[in-house]
Amino acid sequence: MSLEKAKIGFLEAFGTEPAGVWSAPGRANLIGEHTDYNNGFVFPVGIDRRTYVALSPRKDMLCRISSALDAKTYEYEISKKMPKNLDWALYPLGVAWVMRESAKSGFDAYIVSDVPVGAGLSSSAAIECSVATALNEIWSAGKSRQELALIGQQAENEVVGAPTGIMDQTASMLAQKDAAVMIDCQSLETELVPMGLSSQGLVVAVIDTRVAHRHSDGGYRSRRDACEKGAKKMGVSSLRELGEADLPQMEEKLDDVTYRRCKHVVTENRRVLDAVESLKKGDLARLGELLLQSHASMRDDFEISVVELDTAVELAMEVGAVGARMTGGGFGGAAIAIIDESKMELLREHCKAIFAKKGFAEPNVFSVAPSEGARKDA
């Protein structure tokens, strides 16, 4: 169990028992991709794959991070400038840097995670939110869950250099069991919407293509730049202010690529709102249609899918999924599908066989359950 692994790892790395263990989930975004930094709507779930951090305060201001990820221990002194050569440790130490005004001490921390890295399930937000929750307690910082989500986003934007929006951290902090979190990224208002999948024998399947992606690479940035360019040319502060009625004027004013990027965001916002209503009505068939429309938009207009993701979506539908789409920032990662739990093995075998036939890496296919957000475990 990851909780015990975190405790044991801490003891082996630092020679004492940790003061506590905190955790936060990865997330699967049901629908609403690349809408968050455009002040739009997103609809993620927390998943039952989590990152655990065992942590103890120190008597000095040194922060030390160790992990099951590699054999190194990374160090940073809070009063100093944040170094850049810290690899994955930029995520947790970046959180400490953002929270430095609340810092009462340094800390030792050991991290264990079963959130797949590079799969579009936000392993980075799970690290940020588990560490932020731990530091909020040991430093008596008094931050709300929403404030901790913003701290995680700031660490990712300013320290890691990934221009991500607020969705991942908000989902990781606020998620609840068997519910999805509707997030208005402009007002930061949230609404928990019961999914009721388990009562119908349904699960959220994840098809991890094992095509790794990184948000700090240029593809993500260029999409964000196109959205900002489109909004500026349309005379609005963000694409949130535009609706589908504005599409003809957008097509007239914008070059083809910028138009298609902006069209995806505008139509995706509508799809998120429709998906929320579909779930509230129990209309899973309509939800499935919206997932497929979302994938097509990301493939054709936003151009962030890859052939492995398109194949995963097709295969999920072939074995009887309600709906499927790529999830996450794109250029690799995972697809999700809502599917009957009894079909999981068939999905796994079908994906494995067809991916092998096409010469792709073997996918990792597993189911996740909507689960609760950041918490103290021990």
Domains of the chain: 2-193 (3.30.230.10), 196-368 (3.30.70.890)
The one-character DSSP state at 120 is S
Averaged confidence pLDDT in the chain: 94
Q: What is the mean pLDDT of residues 84-100?
A: 93
User: What pLDDT digit, counting tens, does each position of 39-53 carry?
Assistant: 999 999 999 999 999
Question: In whole angstroms, how far apart are CA 195 and each of 28, 205, 338, 367, 373?
Answer: 14, 14, 11, 15, 16
The amino acid that residue 275 corresponds to is A
pLDDT tens digits for range 183-226: 999 998 999 999 989 899 999 999 999 997 655 457 888 999 99
Q: How confident is the model at residue 114 (pLDDT cuts 50, 70, 90)?
A: very high
Q: CA-CA distances (angstroms) from residue 93 to 193, 200, 361, 373, 375?
A: 33, 42, 33, 21, 19
- Is residue 119 predicted with pLDDT exceeding 90? no
Which is higher by pLDDT, 117 or 257? 257
Could you give the percent of the chain with pLDDT greater than 70? 99
Show which residues are catalytic: 168
Per-residue confidence band for 75, with pLDDT thresholds at 50, 70 and 90: very high
61 pLDDT more than 90? yes
Which residues are bridge partners to 191 per DSSP? 182
